[in-house]
Structure 1
């Protein structure tokens, strides 16, 4: 167990950041899940509206370091590719 004041503070900070990152990660996953649902239903109108919101959330996640930049790019690429396929 941590003994010094600074190590106790680091434990508190780590707990706060872990909670924030967990919430951010779940928000990213939820947005992607909604987008995939629209794509599976071939609902082009809703998927197009959702696309910019998902991109924004994914980019913020990459900026915060919750997901890696290449993972964010991969999610965005695959979602936009699937949207383009059903829109055609």
Structure 2
């Protein structure tokens, strides 16, 4: 258990941040799933729009520090590759 006031504050802060960061990661996952569903359906227009929505979400996740830069790059690259294969 935390003894110092600073450690107690740190625990409170970490709990708040974990909740916020979890919501951010969940939001990114939702966008990625929507893009994957659009790619699965074979509808190129819907997939293009979904991919355009995923890219800024991934970039925001990287900027906020909840997703690693290479992870975001890999996800976007693989989604783009699948989109190109549709056409």
TM-score tier by shorter-chain length is: over 0.9
Specify the alignment match of 1:31 in structure 2: 31
What is the CA RMSD across the aligned residues, in angstroms?
Answer: 0.8
What number of residue pairs does the alignment pair up?
87
Give ranges in structure 2 of 5+ residues lacking alignment.
none
Specify the alignment match of 1:76 in structure 2: 76
The list of structure 1 runs, each at least 4 consecutive aligned residues, that deviate by more than 2 angstroms after superposition, is none
After TM superposition, list the pairs within 5 Å mapping 1:3-22 onto structure 2.
3-22=3-22
Larger deviation, residues 44-53 vs 73-82? 44-53
Q: C-alpha displacement at 1:10, in angstroms?
A: 0.3
Give ranges in structure 1 of 5+ residues lacking alignment.
none
TM value normalised by structure 2 = 0.95
Distance 1:53 1:35 in 2: 8
TM value normalised by structure 1 = 0.94
